[in-house]
Structure formats: C-alpha cells, structure tokens
Amino acid sequence: MRDANLTLIQTFFIVARDGSYSAAARKLGMSYQSAANHVRRLEQVLGERLVVSEQGAKTVILTPRGRSLYKLLLPELDTMLARLDRTLDRWRHRYPGLDVAADVAHGSYLDYLTQHSRQIRLVVVGSHNRAGIAQLTEPNGVAALTDSGSSVLIGNNRRL
C-alpha cells in the first residue's frame, strides 16, 4: 500500500463505513464521481477489487478483500477521523467566519498552494513539521504565500 495516499484510503474507509459513494461524497465534500474514482485508484494500487456496485445501486458491497482492509483500518482510522472532526468543529466554532476544512498536500506545499491559491487563505502547519515550515518560510514559500494572499500559522498542536 506504499503508493496509496491517505485521501484514497480515507475515501475507501468512509465508503465502506457508510455503505455508499454518495454518503461518503457528502461527508468529504466531493462529488459522487470523485469518491468512486478514489476507490478505483486505490483498487488499482492494490491490484484487487474492494467494492462492487451495480449501475444505479444506492449502496456498495465490499468484496472479501474490501472487508479485510476495512477491518484492518477500522479502529485506528476511525479514531483519527473522529479526532480530526472534533478539531475542525472547534475551529469552526472559534472562527465562524472562516470556511475550515482539512486537506492533504501530496508532495510540495508550494505546489499545492500554487494550484489551490484561490481557495486557501490560511495554512496551518504543526511545529513538529520542520520540512513543511522550511518550505513555507524560505523565499519561494514567502513568495507563494504573498502571491496567493495566504498566511501561515505554525502552531503547537496541543494549543490549536
């Protein structure tokens, strides 16, 4: 599962947990097709089918491999996603004027910031992430933040 990124795994997990692409798509703030594509890409990475759904069906059925992967992920990923949801809820309550959402930057923060500059106003980086901090505080990072109109907050996760 080395090439499977967290976004694909999270999407599969929520599809498996909630039983449908549409429920997972609503939860993740993406289209039905994007949720289905994430699961298909994960299946390609693993070389095995994980879910079966028929055209027009409202629910998906896990294959034996899909059930096995879901059971493997269940305790830790469910706990992690619940903690992330609680953190985002606290931020939404604390900053009601902001659209607070979690996202995963694959690869360079600078590339991600450049690609999504219209949607991002604040990048939050944990103080333990020295590589991420370096990318955003070096001259190229400062330029990308300035060009996008974004700010960076480097924080201790215990205080956020």
- Are 15 and 51 contacting, i.e. CB atoms less than 8 angstroms apart? yes
Residue 95 lies in a domain: no
Q: pLDDT-based confidence at 61, cuts 50/70/90?
A: very high
Residue 157 has pLDDT above 60, yes or no: no
* pTM, 2 dp: 0.62
Measured between alpha carbons, how far is 80 from 45 in angstroms, rounded to an integer? 23
Bridge-based pairing of strands 151-155 and 122-126 is parallel
77 in the same domain as 117: no
* 65 and 114 both lie in a single domain: no
Structural domains counted in the chain = 2
Domain that holds residue 123: 109-155
Please name every residue paired with 124 in a beta bridge, in sequence order, or none if there are none: 153
Contact status, residue 138 vs residue 129, Cβ threshold 8 Å: no
Domain for residue 77, yes or no? yes
Tens of pLDDT, residue by residue over 103-154, are 655 566 677 777 777 777 777 777 777 777 787 778 877 777 777 777 777 6
Q: Of the candidates 10, 160, 156, 155, which has an alpha carbon nearest to the alpha carbon of residue 88?
A: 160
Structural domain contains residue 46: yes
Do 10 and 76 belong together in one domain? yes
